[in-house]
Structure 1
Amino acid sequence: MPTTTLTVLKFHTADGAEQALEVVEDLSKQQLVTLQDAAIVTWPEGKKKPKTRQLSSMTGTGALGGAFWGLLFGLLFFVPIFGMVVGAAFGALAGSMADVGISDEFIKSVRSKVTEGTSALFLMTSDVVMDKVVEAMKDMDFELIASNLSEEQEEKLREAFAED
């Protein structure tokens, strides 16, 4: 059974994640990555909160479904608004999110970096042909915010996408 990876890439423009998703979908068609599910957060300048969109053009339904993405984006962007009212419920759910590599640190990191004027691409992938993916995305301006890879795997990924 291949290991599934959740990766979050932050782009410095509100449309960067959309452009990157097109590249990832193309890589998927070439069977250089298995794209199991994806979602995009775009936060245009002047808006109070980001817009989120789950990838729906995949065959069948996404691996995780709308409930997962809804919960994740709720934790990332709306919990401070709800505060105490739903804090305990989200706390319990956040505990189960940690089981799939989504820790408090992950949430805080994404929340602090995905801000007005930026976008983020959330990818659930497996079977990645890393050198081909790196080659296809090398000219894109993004930051790897988080992944549930091992520290060693994540460091290799960061090195692969580091500036030359």
Structure 2
Amino acid sequence: MSTLTVWKFDDPAGAQQAEEKLVALSKEHLITVLDAAIVTWEEGKKKPKTRQANNLAAAGALGGAFWGWLFGLLFLVPLLGMAIGAAAGALGGSMADVGIDDDFIDSVKSQVVPGTSALFLMTQDAVIDRVSDAFDGTNAQLVKTNLSKDQEEALRSAFADED
């Protein structure tokens, strides 16, 4: 079963440092990272910087469409108004079926603010105690939504890259 998690850090560099730890954990086969993206929000900036962490993503990753939709919903709706809000609302209802509901969105929006960073992950096969030990002392806060296999497939098909 895959898990969608959001790790929030109290400084803009925290997510980048966590990504580096995940690369090492992945090489040790302690976690499989299916897809990842990073949000960095510098103090004093109006909106965060986002990027897909391609060096972590395994084959079959969700792709930029999913992360773009999620980050647009989380961070750009108030800035761009009704057009994105309507599109996000239309997709938002269907995403509750894949583990992304209003509670998840509200929780992330309230925690990822200027002066912080976040690491968004789709993972599986984590050796929880070893991964947890690697992040001990990082002051990371976790927002977590577990996805069943069917939910993961629904999420992948909703945001499949069209060639």
Whether 2:76 is the aligned partner of 1:75: answer no
Letter of the aligned partner of 2:25 in structure 1? L
2-structure distance, mates of 1:49, 1:93: 22
Residue 25 of structure 1: CA displacement?
1.3
Q: Is the 8 A contact 1:14 1:43 kept in 2?
A: yes
Deviations 1:60-102 (A, max 9, x none): 6661000000000000001122332333321111122222211
Q: Which residue of 2 aligns with 1:25?
A: 23
The match for 2:93 among 65, 70, 95 is: 95
Unaligned runs of 5+ in 1: 151-164
The normalised TM-score by structure 2 is 0.84
Distance 1:37 1:96 in 2: 21
Letter in 1 for 2:94: S
Aligned residues: 148
> What corresponds to 1:111 in structure 2?
109
Structure 2: runs of 5 or more not aligned: 149-163
Backbone CA RMSD of aligned residues: 1.8
Q: 1:8-87 to 2 correspondence within 5 Å?
A: 8-58=6-56, 63-87=61-85
Using the alignment, how far apart are the partners of 2:106 and 2:19 within structure 1? 23
Once the two structures are overlaid, the 10-residue window that deviates more, 140-149 or 103-112, is 140-149
Scaled by the length of structure 1, the TM-score of the pair is 0.84
The answer to whether structure 1 residue 137 and structure 2 residue 135 are counterparts is yes
Following TM superposition, where does structure 1 have runs of at least 4 consecutive aligned residues deviating by more than 6 angstroms? none
Distance in 1 between residues matched to 2:106 and 2:59, nearest whole Å = 28
